[in-house]
Structure 1
Amino acid sequence: MADTRIKVAKDKAEFLKTLRATEDTPGPFQSYADALVFAAALGMKRGVREPIAEYSRSIDPIRQDIFYSKGYDQVINLLAITSSNNPKILASTDQAEEDRIRIFEEYANAGLEVLAGALKGAVNYTEALLIFLSTERETEEPQQPEDFDLTRFIS
Protein backbone atom coordinates (compact mmCIF):
# COMPACT_ATOMS: atom_id res chain seq x y z
CA MET A 1 0.00 0.00 0.00
CA ALA A 2 1.15 3.51 -0.71
CA ASP A 3 2.07 5.91 2.07
CA THR A 4 -0.95 8.13 1.45
CA ARG A 5 -1.11 11.02 3.88
CA ILE A 6 -4.01 13.23 4.79
CA LYS A 7 -3.54 16.82 3.74
CA VAL A 8 -5.16 20.12 4.64
CA ALA A 9 -6.26 22.91 2.33
CA LYS A 10 -4.00 25.94 2.33
CA ASP A 11 -6.89 28.31 3.07
CA LYS A 12 -7.98 26.28 6.14
CA ALA A 13 -4.55 25.67 7.71
CA GLU A 14 -4.45 28.72 10.00
CA PHE A 15 -7.97 28.06 11.25
CA LEU A 16 -7.12 24.40 11.89
CA LYS A 17 -4.11 25.49 13.94
CA THR A 18 -6.40 27.52 16.21
CA LEU A 19 -8.58 24.47 16.88
CA ARG A 20 -5.71 22.42 18.29
CA ALA A 21 -4.78 22.75 21.95
CA THR A 22 -1.14 23.55 22.65
CA GLU A 23 0.82 24.43 25.76
CA ASP A 24 0.23 28.11 25.04
CA THR A 25 -3.32 28.11 23.73
CA PRO A 26 -6.45 26.23 24.69
CA GLY A 27 -8.32 24.55 21.88
CA PRO A 28 -11.21 22.16 21.64
CA PHE A 29 -9.12 19.38 20.01
CA GLN A 30 -5.96 17.62 21.14
CA SER A 31 -4.65 16.95 17.64
CA TYR A 32 -5.15 17.90 14.01
CA ALA A 33 -6.51 14.39 13.41
CA ASP A 34 -9.25 14.91 16.02
CA ALA A 35 -10.25 18.24 14.48
CA LEU A 36 -10.24 16.85 10.93
CA VAL A 37 -12.41 13.88 11.85
CA PHE A 38 -14.90 16.19 13.56
CA ALA A 39 -14.90 18.50 10.54
CA ALA A 40 -15.35 15.59 8.13
CA ALA A 41 -18.31 14.28 10.13
CA LEU A 42 -19.81 17.77 10.12
CA GLY A 43 -19.28 18.05 6.37
CA MET A 44 -21.00 14.70 5.89
CA LYS A 45 -23.89 15.70 8.17
CA ARG A 46 -24.38 18.86 6.13
CA GLY A 47 -23.97 16.92 2.89
CA VAL A 48 -21.16 19.11 1.58
CA ARG A 49 -17.78 18.23 0.11
CA GLU A 50 -15.25 20.76 -1.04
CA PRO A 51 -12.34 19.70 -3.24
CA ILE A 52 -8.98 21.03 -2.13
CA ALA A 53 -7.49 23.39 -4.70
CA GLU A 54 -4.13 23.85 -2.99
CA TYR A 55 -2.61 21.97 -0.08
CA SER A 56 -1.07 23.67 2.93
CA ARG A 57 2.67 23.74 3.37
CA SER A 58 2.45 25.03 6.94
CA ILE A 59 0.84 21.82 8.22
CA ASP A 60 2.67 18.68 7.20
CA PRO A 61 0.52 15.93 5.70
CA ILE A 62 -0.64 13.65 8.51
CA ARG A 63 0.29 9.98 8.42
CA GLN A 64 -2.63 7.58 8.24
CA ASP A 65 -1.34 5.56 11.18
CA ILE A 66 -2.13 8.52 13.45
CA PHE A 67 -5.77 8.27 12.37
CA TYR A 68 -5.74 4.48 12.55
CA SER A 69 -4.25 4.40 16.06
CA LYS A 70 -7.24 6.45 17.26
CA GLY A 71 -9.77 4.24 15.44
CA TYR A 72 -10.55 6.95 12.91
CA ASP A 73 -9.96 4.57 10.00
CA GLN A 74 -13.52 3.37 10.59
CA VAL A 75 -14.83 6.92 10.17
CA ILE A 76 -12.82 7.36 6.98
CA ASN A 77 -14.17 4.07 5.62
CA LEU A 78 -17.77 4.89 6.58
CA LEU A 79 -17.58 8.29 4.93
CA ALA A 80 -16.15 6.72 1.78
CA ILE A 81 -18.68 3.92 1.44
CA THR A 82 -21.63 6.17 2.31
CA SER A 83 -20.50 8.79 -0.16
CA SER A 84 -19.66 6.44 -3.02
CA ASN A 85 -22.31 3.74 -2.48
CA ASN A 86 -19.65 1.35 -3.74
CA PRO A 87 -18.30 -1.38 -1.44
CA LYS A 88 -15.24 -1.75 -3.70
CA ILE A 89 -13.95 1.51 -2.24
CA LEU A 90 -12.94 -0.55 0.80
CA ALA A 91 -10.59 -2.69 -1.29
CA SER A 92 -6.94 -2.96 -0.28
CA THR A 93 -5.64 -1.24 -3.39
CA ASP A 94 -3.69 1.97 -3.73
CA GLN A 95 -6.45 3.52 -5.86
CA ALA A 96 -9.20 2.67 -3.36
CA GLU A 97 -7.10 4.06 -0.52
CA GLU A 98 -6.47 7.30 -2.41
CA ASP A 99 -10.20 7.59 -3.13
CA ARG A 100 -11.09 7.09 0.56
CA ILE A 101 -8.56 9.72 1.64
CA ARG A 102 -9.73 12.20 -1.03
CA ILE A 103 -13.35 11.83 0.08
CA PHE A 104 -12.32 12.30 3.71
CA GLU A 105 -10.23 15.38 2.86
CA GLU A 106 -13.12 16.92 0.91
CA TYR A 107 -15.60 16.40 3.74
CA ALA A 108 -13.09 17.73 6.27
CA ASN A 109 -12.40 20.76 4.08
CA ALA A 110 -16.12 21.56 3.83
CA GLY A 111 -16.60 20.93 7.55
CA LEU A 112 -13.77 23.31 8.41
CA GLU A 113 -15.52 25.96 6.31
CA VAL A 114 -18.75 25.42 8.27
CA LEU A 115 -16.87 25.54 11.58
CA ALA A 116 -14.99 28.69 10.61
CA GLY A 117 -18.29 30.42 9.94
CA ALA A 118 -19.87 29.14 13.15
CA LEU A 119 -16.91 30.11 15.34
CA LYS A 120 -16.20 33.44 13.67
CA GLY A 121 -15.67 36.14 16.28
CA ALA A 122 -15.57 33.70 19.19
CA VAL A 123 -12.90 34.23 21.81
CA ASN A 124 -13.18 30.78 23.38
CA TYR A 125 -13.53 28.16 20.64
CA THR A 126 -14.31 25.37 23.10
CA GLU A 127 -17.28 27.22 24.55
CA ALA A 128 -18.45 28.38 21.12
CA LEU A 129 -18.18 24.82 19.80
CA LEU A 130 -20.37 23.54 22.63
CA ILE A 131 -22.99 26.18 21.83
CA PHE A 132 -22.75 25.28 18.13
CA LEU A 133 -23.27 21.59 18.91
CA SER A 134 -26.19 22.39 21.17
CA THR A 135 -27.93 24.41 18.46
CA GLU A 136 -27.18 21.71 15.87
CA ARG A 137 -28.84 19.11 18.06
CA GLU A 138 -31.88 21.31 18.65
CA THR A 139 -32.36 21.98 14.93
CA GLU A 140 -32.24 18.30 14.01
CA GLU A 141 -34.79 17.23 16.62
CA PRO A 142 -38.16 18.38 15.32
CA GLN A 143 -40.24 20.02 17.99
CA GLN A 144 -43.55 18.22 18.16
CA PRO A 145 -46.32 19.67 20.23
CA GLU A 146 -47.19 17.50 23.17
CA ASP A 147 -50.78 16.54 23.63
CA PHE A 148 -52.22 17.82 26.86
CA ASP A 149 -52.86 14.60 28.74
CA LEU A 150 -55.30 14.95 31.63
CA THR A 151 -54.78 11.38 32.80
CA ARG A 152 -51.63 12.35 34.62
CA PHE A 153 -53.77 14.42 37.02
CA ILE A 154 -56.06 11.52 37.89
CA SER A 155 -54.98 9.56 40.94
Structure 2
Amino acid sequence: MVETGRIRVAKDKADLVKSLISTDGATGPFQTFADAIAFAAALGAKHNRRVPLGEISKREPSPIRLEYFASMGHDCVIKLLAITETKDIKILSLTEESEAKRNLIFEEYANGGLEILQNELRGAVDYSERILLMLCPEREQQEQQNEEFDLSKFLS
Protein backbone atom coordinates (compact mmCIF):
# COMPACT_ATOMS: atom_id res chain seq x y z
CA MET A 1 0.00 0.00 0.00
CA VAL A 2 1.23 3.47 -0.89
CA GLU A 3 1.79 5.76 2.06
CA THR A 4 0.20 9.11 1.24
CA GLY A 5 2.08 12.24 2.06
CA ARG A 6 5.48 10.64 1.50
CA ILE A 7 7.65 9.46 -1.39
CA ARG A 8 9.35 6.12 -0.82
CA VAL A 9 12.69 4.81 -2.07
CA ALA A 10 13.43 1.17 -2.89
CA LYS A 11 15.72 -0.43 -0.33
CA ASP A 12 18.12 -1.66 -3.03
CA LYS A 13 18.60 1.94 -4.26
CA ALA A 14 19.00 3.61 -0.82
CA ASP A 15 22.82 3.60 -0.87
CA LEU A 16 22.86 5.06 -4.38
CA VAL A 17 20.48 7.86 -3.32
CA LYS A 18 22.66 8.62 -0.29
CA SER A 19 25.75 8.77 -2.50
CA LEU A 20 24.06 11.31 -4.79
CA ILE A 21 23.71 13.83 -1.94
CA SER A 22 26.39 16.32 -0.89
CA THR A 23 26.32 16.04 2.89
CA ASP A 24 28.77 15.01 5.58
CA GLY A 25 31.75 15.70 3.35
CA ALA A 26 30.33 13.73 0.43
CA THR A 27 30.40 15.49 -2.94
CA GLY A 28 27.24 14.21 -4.57
CA PRO A 29 25.67 16.29 -7.34
CA PHE A 30 22.42 16.98 -5.43
CA GLN A 31 21.69 19.00 -2.30
CA THR A 32 18.74 16.94 -1.01
CA PHE A 33 17.13 13.53 -1.35
CA ALA A 34 14.14 15.25 -2.98
CA ASP A 35 16.42 16.75 -5.67
CA ALA A 36 18.00 13.37 -6.41
CA ILE A 37 14.64 11.56 -6.54
CA ALA A 38 13.06 14.23 -8.78
CA PHE A 39 16.02 13.99 -11.19
CA ALA A 40 15.79 10.19 -11.20
CA ALA A 41 12.03 10.33 -11.89
CA ALA A 42 12.57 12.67 -14.85
CA LEU A 43 15.34 10.39 -16.14
CA GLY A 44 13.11 7.33 -15.73
CA ALA A 45 10.28 9.07 -17.60
CA LYS A 46 12.61 10.16 -20.41
CA HIS A 47 13.69 6.56 -20.92
CA ASN A 48 10.19 5.21 -20.29
CA ARG A 49 11.50 3.13 -17.39
CA ARG A 50 8.91 2.60 -14.67
CA VAL A 51 9.95 -0.03 -12.13
CA PRO A 52 7.98 -1.21 -9.05
CA LEU A 53 9.80 -0.51 -5.79
CA GLY A 54 9.78 -3.91 -4.11
CA GLU A 55 11.13 -3.60 -0.57
CA ILE A 56 11.05 -0.03 0.80
CA SER A 57 13.96 1.71 2.52
CA LYS A 58 13.08 2.26 6.18
CA ARG A 59 16.34 3.97 7.09
CA GLU A 60 18.06 6.77 5.26
CA PRO A 61 16.50 7.79 3.04
CA SER A 62 13.27 6.99 4.81
CA PRO A 63 10.04 7.98 3.01
CA ILE A 64 10.36 11.70 2.16
CA ARG A 65 7.53 14.09 2.99
CA LEU A 66 5.78 15.63 -0.01
CA GLU A 67 6.28 19.07 1.54
CA TYR A 68 10.00 18.81 0.76
CA PHE A 69 9.22 18.23 -2.91
CA ALA A 70 6.67 21.05 -2.95
CA SER A 71 9.02 23.51 -1.24
CA MET A 72 11.53 23.02 -4.07
CA GLY A 73 8.96 23.06 -6.87
CA HIS A 74 9.38 19.34 -7.58
CA ASP A 75 5.68 18.69 -6.97
CA CYS A 76 5.04 19.79 -10.58
CA VAL A 77 7.19 16.86 -11.74
CA ILE A 78 5.00 14.51 -9.69
CA LYS A 79 1.84 16.00 -11.22
CA LEU A 80 3.16 16.12 -14.79
CA LEU A 81 4.27 12.49 -14.70
CA ALA A 82 0.87 11.48 -13.32
CA ILE A 83 -1.03 13.33 -16.06
CA THR A 84 1.29 12.02 -18.78
CA GLU A 85 0.98 8.45 -17.53
CA THR A 86 -2.77 8.36 -16.94
CA LYS A 87 -3.88 10.84 -19.64
CA ASP A 88 -6.49 11.94 -17.10
CA ILE A 89 -6.60 15.40 -15.51
CA LYS A 90 -8.65 13.97 -12.62
CA ILE A 91 -5.42 12.48 -11.27
CA LEU A 92 -4.76 15.99 -9.89
CA SER A 93 -7.81 15.88 -7.61
CA LEU A 94 -7.17 16.27 -3.91
CA THR A 95 -8.47 12.84 -2.93
CA GLU A 96 -6.24 10.45 -1.03
CA GLU A 97 -6.66 7.89 -3.81
CA SER A 98 -5.43 10.33 -6.48
CA GLU A 99 -2.48 11.39 -4.35
CA ALA A 100 -1.54 7.75 -3.78
CA LYS A 101 -1.66 7.10 -7.56
CA ARG A 102 0.43 10.19 -8.32
CA ASN A 103 3.01 9.20 -5.72
CA LEU A 104 3.20 5.61 -6.98
CA ILE A 105 3.76 6.73 -10.57
CA PHE A 106 6.47 9.16 -9.43
CA GLU A 107 8.13 6.56 -7.18
CA GLU A 108 8.21 3.96 -9.95
CA TYR A 109 9.69 6.38 -12.49
CA ALA A 110 12.25 7.47 -9.88
CA ASN A 111 13.11 3.81 -9.25
CA GLY A 112 13.55 3.29 -13.00
CA GLY A 113 15.74 6.38 -13.20
CA LEU A 114 17.81 5.19 -10.25
CA GLU A 115 18.31 1.88 -12.08
CA ILE A 116 19.66 3.81 -15.07
CA LEU A 117 21.92 5.88 -12.80
CA GLN A 118 23.14 2.72 -11.06
CA ASN A 119 24.31 1.35 -14.41
CA GLU A 120 25.73 4.65 -15.69
CA LEU A 121 27.57 5.50 -12.47
CA ARG A 122 29.09 2.05 -11.91
CA GLY A 123 32.81 2.53 -11.33
CA ALA A 124 32.63 6.34 -11.45
CA VAL A 125 34.55 8.34 -8.88
CA ASP A 126 32.91 11.70 -9.61
CA TYR A 127 29.15 11.29 -10.00
CA SER A 128 28.67 14.93 -10.99
CA GLU A 129 31.05 14.59 -13.92
CA ARG A 130 29.49 11.31 -15.07
CA ILE A 131 25.96 12.76 -14.91
CA LEU A 132 27.11 15.79 -16.92
CA LEU A 133 28.58 13.42 -19.51
CA MET A 134 25.22 11.61 -19.64
CA LEU A 135 23.42 14.90 -20.26
CA CYS A 136 25.83 16.31 -22.89
CA PRO A 137 24.52 14.22 -25.81
CA GLU A 138 20.99 15.44 -24.95
CA ARG A 139 22.11 19.04 -25.13
CA GLU A 140 23.99 18.53 -28.39
CA GLN A 141 20.96 16.81 -29.90
CA GLN A 142 18.72 19.72 -28.90
CA GLU A 143 21.18 22.23 -30.35
CA GLN A 144 21.29 20.29 -33.64
CA GLN A 145 17.48 20.26 -33.79
CA ASN A 146 17.42 23.99 -33.16
CA GLU A 147 20.00 24.56 -35.90
CA GLU A 148 17.83 22.75 -38.45
CA PHE A 149 15.17 25.43 -38.08
CA ASP A 150 17.56 28.37 -37.80
CA LEU A 151 16.79 30.49 -40.85
CA SER A 152 19.31 33.16 -39.88
CA LYS A 153 22.05 31.38 -41.83
CA PHE A 154 20.25 32.42 -45.02
CA LEU A 155 20.66 36.06 -44.08
CA SER A 156 23.91 37.56 -45.32
Give the TM-score of the pair, scaled to structure 2.
0.86
Shift of 1:116: 1.1
Contiguous gaps of at least 5 residues in structure 2? none
Question: Partner amino acid for 2:86?
Answer: S
**Where do residues 12-51 of structure 1 align in structure 2 (5 Å cutoff)?**
12-51=13-52
CA distance in 2, matches of 1:79, 1:31: 20
**Where do residues 1-155 of structure 1 align in structure 2 (5 Å cutoff)?**
3-58=4-59, 59-138=61-140
Question: Partner amino acid for 1:90?
Answer: L
Taking every aligned residue pair, what percent have the same amino acid on both sides?
A: 51
CA distance in 2, matches of 1:124, 1:6: 27
CA distance in 1, matches of 2:137, 2:19: 22
Give the TM-score of the pair, scaled to structure 1.
0.87
Shift of 1:139: 5.5
CA distance in 1, matches of 2:126, 2:11: 23
Shift of 1:24: 1.3
Deviations 1:62-89 (A, max 9, x none): 0010001111111110000001101110
- Secondary structure at the aligned position of 1:114 is classed as helix
The question of whether the paired residues in 1 share the 8 Å contact of 2:42 and 2:113 is answered with yes
How many residue pairs get aligned? The number is: 148
RMSD: 2.3
